[in-house]
């Protein structure tokens, strides 16, 4: 067989791949080096808008609500050149805006957008994609009322996917029908926070045509967003958020908000039908078993807005069902990966290859790469084949009456007591070695090697109360001076004056955004994992069971997940306390809590692979030049 020079082979492959997507007049979609190329004019792109008819009448005006869809697509797209679609559906286009620079939609005299927020349009339209900015029902220029994760939220976005595939109707501003004859019907949904939540929600319906989603800092269960095992974070939050995103006169949707307040179960904190409707893992409108789209999850372990159990439980449910997936786990707060310092170019390129693979069938190797990118420190990222770290070992750390935390259980009859009072996290972790009425604390000795937590710790306590219930908080703390990501300040980033550009620009919509720098701070401790439970929900989230007064009972729950390295010489602390005033709106119950230390522990998943320099040589088995594994038969972890 004659040899073909690489350059000629690349040209040949480009022609073969591009041929089916060639416009009658003009360029066609072009692939080189496993990526679509910017061959279409952004300035000349078609800008239009339509109103897609949904299945709901959220504002009870007797008419099905219509979803406003703003579209930008290559001028050449149409029956002769069908293109895939990238959708960012959002409730924020006319209030808080999108992205780190809070961009809003800007309309031209014809009612079409002259500025699409974020870089997706600037970057992907020249490469042969349509980009849709969709106003969530009840917001901006869409009809209806927002119902915060419920039926209207879910079915509005689904209707857009249905329209792209010929299963729903749409109309132009003049009332004439609008057909999506310019698309292949293959669609992606992407977005941060509420936008990414809508992507999760629509994917959970199993709608045909949604090929992939990229949920960033997104909710998978609104219960998890506003509850932790019966502990209420905020009261009447759903109605507050609905009112915030709705810029219509307040009276229009007041009845919907009143209904949410009546149904949210704030008085108990229990899981009920209101939350089941807003649960995309195993809920009423859809669940993980219905997901047909691939999923590229991005979340940060210090996100205390959309707390990280929203990604970890969703990720596990997708994995259990074999959903194709990829994940980035960072250490910032509620931050988009576009604003992870030093990774903007990598993010754009990875997203580019992800969309090319799933929407245009470009074989670019993105699915053969390690599945997980994980941030371990301000400037340290690693890749691994999955998340959490494969083969992590679950180690039970056990508190004792002398204040130590180790591997051996406390002696029979050893207890520790505190009162469930409302206390901030800062107060809970201050002066660890000093007794406080509202908490008990236990610490290891100095670690002789670094230990990486990867996954979700479990608090496993045996307690008795002098009242029917109490709120419990468990904190896993790293004690030791270190320079860490300062996610408390600016959510972990500072926005700089200098810009960089990704895509093409017009005078009214440029592709340039300000760079960022990671905020760091040197502090003596870091709260690594935190978790909460109302003791009466220890057996069920929907059926509370008070603990008989004076009787010991098992209380076991998951904390928030993390990926974090406790460094050599640091100490690990376990703090057990009552109501966490930093994250819960509840009052402390005042219950006296007694912990049976002999039957209590926190179980921590430690990754087995550790730097060679940190590993005691008598506990190591070599696996290469710079990494080793703990011995498989014993895994004794006798180094506290």
Query: Torsions phi, psi of 298, nearest 5?
Result: -130, 130
Contact at 8 Å (CB) between 579 and 471? yes
**CA gap 307, 287 in Å, rounded:** 19
Helix (H, G, I), strand (E, B) or coil at 562: strand
Question: Which ranges constitute the DSSP H helices of 331-391?
Answer: 344-360
**CA gap 190, 197 in Å, rounded:** 9
**CA gap 290, 181 in Å, rounded:** 27
Alpha carbon 237 to its chain centroid, in Å, reads 19
Q: 175: phi > 0 → left, psi -120 to 50 → alpha, else beta; which?
A: left
**CA gap 595, 613 in Å, rounded:** 38
| 225 sits in which H/E element | helix 222-226
Give catalytic status of residue 193 as yes or no. Answer: yes
Q: Which residues does residue 397 pair with via DSSP β-bridges, in sequence order?
A: 602
Active-site entry in 142, 193, 312, 609? 193
**CA gap 75, 79 in Å, rounded:** 12
Write down how long the chain is: 640
Q: What does the block give as tokens for 189?
A: 């949904």
Q: What does the block give as tokens for 359?
A: 């929407």
Strands 592-596 and 415-419, how do they pair? antiparallel
Active-site entry in 147, 270, 303, 356? 303
Active-site entry in 49, 299, 334, 502? 334
Return the closest-CA partner of residue 247 out of 99, 141, 90, 115.
Answer: 141
Q: What does the block give as tokens for 545?
A: 């069971």
Catalytically active residues are 193, 303, 334
């Amino acid at each position: 067989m004659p040899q073909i020079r690489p350059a000629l082979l690349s040209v040949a492959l480009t022609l073969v791949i591009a041929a089916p997507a060639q416009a009658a007049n003009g360029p066609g979609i072009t692939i080189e080096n496993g990526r679509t190329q910017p061959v279409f004019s952004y300035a000349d792109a078609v800008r239009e808008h339509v109103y897609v008819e949904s299945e709901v009448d959220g504002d009870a005006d007797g008419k099905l609500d219509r979803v406003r869809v703003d579209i930008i697509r290559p001028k050449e797209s149409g029956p002769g050149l069908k293109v895939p679609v990238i959708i960012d559906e959002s409730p924020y286009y006319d209030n808080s805006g999108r992205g780190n620079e809070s961009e809003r939609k800007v309309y031209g005299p014809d009612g079409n957008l002259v500025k699409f927020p974020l870089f997706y349009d600037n970057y992907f339209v020249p490469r042969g994609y349509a980009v849709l900015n969709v106003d969530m029902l009840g917001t901006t220029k869409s009809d209806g009322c927002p119902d915060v994760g419920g039926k209207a939220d879910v079915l509005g976005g689904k209707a857009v996917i249905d329209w792209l595939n010929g299963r729903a109707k749409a109309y132009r501003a003049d009332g004439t029908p609008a057909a999506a004859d310019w698309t292949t019907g293959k669609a992606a949904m992407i977005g941060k926070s509420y936008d990414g939540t809508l992507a999760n929600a629509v994917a959970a319906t199993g709608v045909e045509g949604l090929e992939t989603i990229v949920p960033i800092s997104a909710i998978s269960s609104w219960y998890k967003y506003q509850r932790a095992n019966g502990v209420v974070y905020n009261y009447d939050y759903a109605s507050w958020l609905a009112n915030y995103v709705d810029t219509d006169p307040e009276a229009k949707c007041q009845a919907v908000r009143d209904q949410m307040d009546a149904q949210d179960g704030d008085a108990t904190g229990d899981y009920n039908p209101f939350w089941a409707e807003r649960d995309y893992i195993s809920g009423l409108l859809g669940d993980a078993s219905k997901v047909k789209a691939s999923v590229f999850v991005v979340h940060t372990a210090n996100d205390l807005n959309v707390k990280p159990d929203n990604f970890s439980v969703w990720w596990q449910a997708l994995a259990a069902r074999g959903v194709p997936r990829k994940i980035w786990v960072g250490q910032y707060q509620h931050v988009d990966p576009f604003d992870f310092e030093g990774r903007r170019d990598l993010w754009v390129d990875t997203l580019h290859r992800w969309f090319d693979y799933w929407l245009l069938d470009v074989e670019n190797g993105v699915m053969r790469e390690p599945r997980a990118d994980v941030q371990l420190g301000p400037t340290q990222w690693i890749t691994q084949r999955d998340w959490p770290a494969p083969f992590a070992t679950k180690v039970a750390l056990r508190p004792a009456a002398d204040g130590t935390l180790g591997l051996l259980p406390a002696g029979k009859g050893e207890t520790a007591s505190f009162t469930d009072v409302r206390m901030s996290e800062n107060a809970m972790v201050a002066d660890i070695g000093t007794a406080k009425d509202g908490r008990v604390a236990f610490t290891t000795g100095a670690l002789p090697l670094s230990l990486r937590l990867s996954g979700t710790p479990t608090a496993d306590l045996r307690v008795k109360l002098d009242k029917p219930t109490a709120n419990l908080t468990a904190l896993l703390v790293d004690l030791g001076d270190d320079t860490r990501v300062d996610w408390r300040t600016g959510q972990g980033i500072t926005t700089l004056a200098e810009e960089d550009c990704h895509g093409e620009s017009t005078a009214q919509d440029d592709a340039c955004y300000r760079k960022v720098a990671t905020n760091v701070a040197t502090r003596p401790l870091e709260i690594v994992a935190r978790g909460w439970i109302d003791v009466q929900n220890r057996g069920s989230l929907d059926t509370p069971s008070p603990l008989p007064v004076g009787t010991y009972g098992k209380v076991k729950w998951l904390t928030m997940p993390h990926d974090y390295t406790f460094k050599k010489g640091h100490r690990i602390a376990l703090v057990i306390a009552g109501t966490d005033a930093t994250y819960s709106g509840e009052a402390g119950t005042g219950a006296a809590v007694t912990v049976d230390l002999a039957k209590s522990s926190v179980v921590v998943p430690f990754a087995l692979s550790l730097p060679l320099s940190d590993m005691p040589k008598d506990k190591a088995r070599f696996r290469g030049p710079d990494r080793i594994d703990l011995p498989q038969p014993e895994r004794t972890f006798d180094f506290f």
